[in-house]
Amino acid sequence: MKSKSLLVMVVSLAFSVSALFAGHHESNAMQANEMTAKAWINASYTSKQEMLSSIQNNMAEDGLNYPGRFVGFGFNWNPDLDEGRMVVMRVIENSPAEGILQSGDEFISVEGVEVNQKNIDEEKLAFSGLPGKQVNAVILRDGKTKNISVTRGIVNSSNTKEQSLESISEADEANWTTIDFRINEVASNKKENTVYVWHWHKSLNTTFDLEFEQNVVTRFMFNEAGKVTVRSDLSEERLVQSQLGFSVSR
């Protein structure tokens, strides 16, 4: 009888120790994920090379980066490659431009406004605005001009790890113009293996030569290996636009 009781006690103790170490391991994993998330944010404000290294080392191969929703056509281009030109690099899947634009298309005019550096800088091209409006444009494709029409809509873009690395590799180092930043708070959701980082920064908009400040909450989702599978932002775009002199209305 005593032997049986002792066996039960030993088994119970073994389960208790196992649970303790499992909880400790889970806690260490979340702490590691929080450190990775904080390091990612720090890298994003530090330099182009730091950001490339952070993505390369910490993002899962099948990870996705969601830079934020917007109203527009739905294509990517690199303003640092050819000054004054707008050449489509990638058409975003399920966007208004899908099936209309192709990689390599170059915009000549939008709603009759010529595409040049001045009009790009002053945001005179009608890519953004109220959703549901048809916008006419002229593009150059395979050496021939072509008239197109795109109906603006909400674009929910996402970039793979490869696309994120390519985009940052081609970016100008001068784009890292953060004046000041800080991480305010880090919170974890163990059940969803998710980390939220609330950070603040003051930056310089080089187009208008104006400073602005902004709060951003960045959400990181991790896999069991501690790699980032999803990264997305919730930011104060309306506040930023008002600081740059734009009036925002619905």
Phi, psi of 11 (to 5 degrees): -65, -45
Tens-place pLDDT, residues 102-113: 999 999 999 999
What pLDDT shows up at residue 151? 96
Buried-state track 198-222, b at ≥16 Cβ within 10 A, e below 16? bbebebeeeeeeeebebebbbbbbb
Measured CA to CA, the distance from residue 100 to residue 153 in angstroms comes to: 14
Q: Are residues 86 and 139 in the same domain?
A: yes
Residue 13 belongs to a domain? no
Tens-place pLDDT, residues 142-190: 999 999 999 999 888 889 999 999 889 888 887 787 789 999 999 999 9
- Residue at which a domain ends, from 98, 131, 155: 155
pTM: 0.73
Q: Where in the sequence is the domain holding 176, given as residue range(s)?
A: 30-67+158-243
Q: Domain containing 209 — which CATH number?
A: 3.10.450.50
Total domain count, the chain:
2
Residue 5 belongs to a domain? no
Residue 7 belongs to a domain? no
Q: Are residues 44 and 56 in the same domain?
A: yes
Instruction: Extract the residue ranges of the chain whose pLDDT is less than 50.
Output: 1-3, 6-24, 248-250
Q: Are residues 183 and 193 in the same domain?
A: yes
Contact 204, 177 (CB under 8 A): yes
**DSSP-derived secondary structure letter, 171:** S
Q: Are residues 145 and 167 in the same domain?
A: no
Residue 48 belongs to a domain? yes
| Token pair for 88 | 């489509």
Q: Are residues 150 and 214 in the same domain?
A: no
Residue 3 belongs to a domain? no
What pLDDT shows up at residue 26? 62
Q: Are residues 148 and 165 in the same domain?
A: no
Q: Are residues 57 and 129 in the same domain?
A: no
Q: Domain containing 83 — which CATH number?
A: 2.30.42.10
Closest CA to 41 of 171, 146, 182: 182
Q: Are residues 162 and 128 in the same domain?
A: no
- Residue at which a domain ends, from 128, 155, 182: 155
Task: Tell me which H or E stretch contains 40.
Answer: helix 2-46
Closest CA to 73 of 43, 105, 50: 105
Q: Are residues 56 and 168 in the same domain?
A: yes
Residue 6 belongs to a domain? no
Q: Are residues 46 and 168 in the same domain?
A: yes
Phi, psi of 170 (to 5 degrees): -90, -5
Q: Which residue has the tokens 């696309």?
A: 163
Q: Are residues 90 and 43 in the same domain?
A: no
Q: Are residues 84 and 46 in the same domain?
A: no
- Residue at which a domain ends, from 136, 155, 174: 155
What pLDDT shows up at residue 98? 96
Residue 229 belongs to a domain? yes
Closest CA to 102 of 80, 65, 76: 76
Taking the alpha carbons of 161, 167, 173, 175 in that order, is the dihedral positive or negative? negative
